[in-house]
Amino acid sequence: MNLVLKVWRQRNAEEPGQLETIEAPSINPDMSFLEMLDVVNERLVAENKEPIAYDHDCREGICGACSLVINGVAHGPDRGTTTCQLHMRRFHSGDEIVIEPFRARAFPVIRDLVVDRSSLDRIIQSGGYVSVSTGGTPDANEIPIPKRAADVAMDAAACIGCGACVAACKNASAMLFVSAKAAHLAHIPQGAPERLERARSMVARMDEETFGACTNTSDCEAVCPKEISIEFIGELNRDFRQALLAGR
């Protein structure tokens, strides 16, 4: 297939960026989207041009490193799929593909398509854990957990922390991400004691990191590669209100 790419190029956080048109002829439809970019990069280098920078690592849809807004959609056109798992057979010869970074105030551009998502880590650091230290824990089977509760916790825990939810949201809110972590821990007994405090501190940190507020547009759910449900946002909102009432 022959494609025309419009790729966001930006040297660093300070300099302005712009879309650059790059021809991508003879692309094999069995390639993944990132393999297509690899090939484009090889060709750029052969012409003594600098390769396009993009984040990636596992290429299996689990590490959350890959990003990219493809034709206006975070992670591209396939539902429940990360960019690294998207294949070129999804496109047609002659297509023009616009490739941009995940954009949000809380995600400054580092270079080209690479952004800084450490704000998400700082939200977890503010309370996205159970406060236990290594050692001295009870036998794993001491507290039975209903299968349903464990399954819901796992649904939420499946979040890969990619930030697509933020990129898709017109307010650049991180509520889907935050609520997924909150729900993972809130649904199991080990996480219950700190439930309200956790909700309060993670939401506060989210605000400090300049993420926007959630207005329930559910664009986040639509692009989430793990199809995490916005029901968790409702749960987090309830916990957050309760935490405020309890004065935590």
Interacting residues with ligand FES (CB under 6 A): 56-59, 61-66, 82, 84
| Residue 82 contact among ligand FES, other proteins, none, beta carbon within 5 to 8 Å by kind | ligand FES
Which stretches does DSSP call E strand in the chain? 3-9, 18-24, 69-70, 73-74, 96-100, 109-111, 114-115
Helix (H) or strand (E) holding 32: none
Please state the closest distance from residue 46 (CB atom) to other proteins, in A: 7
3-class DSSP state of 222: helix
Look up residue 139 and give its two tokens.
């036998």
| Residue 185 contact among other proteins, ligand FES, none, beta carbon within 5 to 8 Å by kind | other proteins
**Minimum CB distance to other proteins smaller for 17 or for 218:** 17
Please state the closest distance from residue 217 (CB atom) to other proteins, in A: 26
**Nearest residue to 110 (alpha-carbon basis) of 54, 65, 174, 37:** 54
Please state the closest distance from residue 225 (CB atom) to ligand FES, in A: 7
| Residue 130 contact among ligand FES, other proteins, none, beta carbon within 5 to 8 Å by kind | other proteins
Beta bridge partners of 99: 7, 70
**Minimum CB distance to ligand FES smaller for 181 or for 198:** 181
CB 183 within 8 A of CB 236: yes
| Residue 18 contact among other proteins, ligand FES, none, beta carbon within 5 to 8 Å by kind | none
**Minimum CB distance to other proteins smaller for 181 or for 220:** 181
**Minimum CB distance to other proteins smaller for 88 or for 219:** 88
**Minimum CB distance to ligand FES smaller for 83 or for 119:** 83
**Minimum CB distance to other proteins smaller for 135 or for 247:** 135
| Residue 97 contact among ligand FES, other proteins, none, beta carbon within 5 to 8 Å by kind | none
Count Cβ atoms below 10 Å from residue 15 Cβ, excluding itself.
10
Cα first-last separation, the chain: 58
Beta bridge partners of 71: none
Please state the closest distance from residue 160 (CB atom) to ligand FES, in A: 6
Please state the closest distance from residue 90 (CB atom) to other proteins, in A: 10
**Nearest residue to 102 (alpha-carbon basis) of 70, 56, 79:** 70
Please state the closest distance from residue 100 (CB atom) to ligand FES, in A: 17
What is d(CA 117, CA 65) in angstroms, rounded to the nearest whole number?
10
Give burial (CB, 10 Å; 0-12/13-18/19+) of 108.
middle
| Residue 120 contact among ligand FES, other proteins, none, beta carbon within 5 to 8 Å by kind | other proteins
